[in-house]
């Protein structure tokens, strides 16, 4: 079942007299329930791709479909609803609210959700039940990222966008975070789209998209999916 379809999507940025083809005629399908890893060097267009898929940015040309509906022509309100109803986000920096504790941070993600998950169950899943009264400064990096994951997942989004989710973490902690994403994918059938520089992470994906200079260089389907905890960091 197809979730996203990109047809000849281009994004051109104009700065001064310079033109950058951040995305250059991209065709891509993403299926429901997959883990997709997008790999590529700095500046290859990975974040631009996430921004287009998540409706944060519009393509210069081309078509973007989500669930068979065009999303590149939505107005602000429709875009807000699209994001609110369907998407969760995780970034390299955890973006937690410093003066809210773990539980309160996760509760933030639940606001306006139609069918939120049970917060206590979710805190159990991410291994933070004992820490739910702690404030961000009292947590390790890995724990903060797990709070950010819980906050993104509590509204039970159909897609979870992760831009360098392990970028600030050491190998051991990074794998625990990735393993959690794998569990969420299996338990809730969440489609997970991970952008990373780390080629090891590609081994846990269903589909690996390699980018360079705004183009897709290759799309690979993995026959065997590695467990995140078994990955060897590049
Ligand atoms: N708002 C913007 N204005 C102008 N140019 C931009 C803008 N955003 C991105 N670009 C350019 O588009 C290209 C792709 O950028 P993008 O952020 O998508 O790369 P990336 O693959 O995510 O890189 P990184 O791994 O460093 O995060 C780069 O050349 C970048 O300089
Ligand atoms: Mg980026």
**What is the pLDDT averaged over residues 9-13?**
97
Would you state the structure tokens that stand for residue 21, as one six-digit string?
Answer: 């083809």
Residue 187 lies in a domain: yes
- Looking at the structure of the chain, the number of domains it has is 1
Report how many helices (DSSP H) and strands (DSSP E) the chain contains, helices first. 6, 10
Per-residue pLDDT reduced to its tens digit, 51-80: 999 999 999 999 999 999 999 999 999 999
Residue 93 lies in a domain: yes
Residues 6+ apart with CB under 8 A from 179: 227, 228, 229
Query: Quick check: 36 and 204 in contact, CB under 8 A?
Result: no
**Per-residue pLDDT, 168:** 87
**Beta-sheet strands, E only, within 166-221:** 191-196, 207-212, 215-221
Among protein residues, the one whose CA lies closest to atom 17 of ligand 1:
47
**Per-residue pLDDT, 114:** 85
Residue 94 lies in a domain: yes
**What is the pLDDT averaged over residues 102-114?**
90
**Beta-sheet strands, E only, within the chain:** 2-15, 18-31, 35-39, 61-66, 69-70, 87-91, 159-163, 191-196, 207-212, 215-221
Residue 212, ligand 1, Cβ within 6 A: no
**Other CB atoms within 10 Å distance of the CB of residue 24:** 17
Residue span of the structural domain in which 96 resides: 31-56+85-230
pTM of the predicted protein model:
0.94
Residue 69 lies in a domain: no
Residue 74 lies in a domain: no
Q: Say what percent of the chain tops pLDDT 70.
A: 100
**Per-residue pLDDT, 66:** 97
Would you state the structure tokens that stand for residue 229, as one six-digit string?
Answer: 């905890």
Which pLDDT band, with edges at 50, 70 and 90, does 195 fall under? Answer: very high
**What is the pLDDT averaged over residues 141-169?**
93
Average pLDDT, whole number, for the chain? 94
Pocket test residue of 41, 47, 93 for ligand 1, highest count of atoms within 8 A of CB = 47
Residue 231, ligand 1, Cβ within 6 A: no
DSSP assignments along 16-57, one per residue? TTEEEEEEEEEEEEEETT-EEEEE--TTSSHHHHHHHHTTSS
pLDDT at 230 over 90: yes
Which pLDDT band, with edges at 50, 70 and 90, does 10 fall under? Answer: very high
pLDDT at 112 over 80: no
How far apart are the C-alpha atoms of 4 and 217, rounded to whole Å?
Answer: 19
How far apart are the C-alpha atoms of 195 and 209, rounded to whole Å?
Answer: 10
The CA 61 to ligand 1 mean position distance, Å, reads: 17
Residue 25 lies in a domain: no
Residue 78 lies in a domain: no
Residue 72 lies in a domain: no
CATH number of the structural domain spanning residue 208: 3.40.50.300
**What is the pLDDT averaged over residues 140-161?**
94
């Amino acid at each position: 079942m197809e979730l996203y379809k990109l047809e000849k999507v281009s994004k051109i940025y104009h700065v001064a007299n310079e033109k950058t083809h951040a995305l250059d005629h991209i065709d891509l399908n993403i299926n429901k329930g997959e883990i997709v890893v997008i790999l590529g060097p700095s500046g290859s267009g990975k974040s631009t791709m996430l921004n287009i898929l998540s409706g944060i940015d519009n393509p210069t040309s081309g078509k973007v479909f989500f669930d068979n509906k065009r999303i590149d022509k939505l107005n602000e309100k429709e875009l807000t609803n699209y994001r609110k109803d369907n998407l969760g986000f995780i970034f390299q920096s955890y973006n937690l609210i410093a003066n809210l504790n773990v539980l309160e941070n996760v509760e933030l993600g639940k606001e306006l959700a139609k069918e939120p998950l049970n917060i206590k169950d979710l805190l159990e899943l991410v291994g933070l039940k004992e820490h739910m009264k702690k404030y961000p400064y009292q947590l390790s990096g890995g724990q903060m990222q797990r709070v950010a994951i819980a906050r993104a997942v509590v509204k039970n989004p159909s897609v979870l966008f992760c831009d360098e989710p392990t970028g600030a973490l050491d190998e051991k902690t990074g794998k625990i975070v990735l393993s959690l994403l794998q569990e969420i994918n299996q338990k809730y059938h969440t489609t997970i789209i991970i952008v990373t520089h780390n080629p090891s992470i590609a081994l846990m994906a269903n589909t690996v998209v390699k980018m360079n200079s705004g183009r897709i260089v290759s799309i690979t389907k993995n026959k065997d999916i590695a467990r995140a905890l078994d990955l060897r960091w590049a």
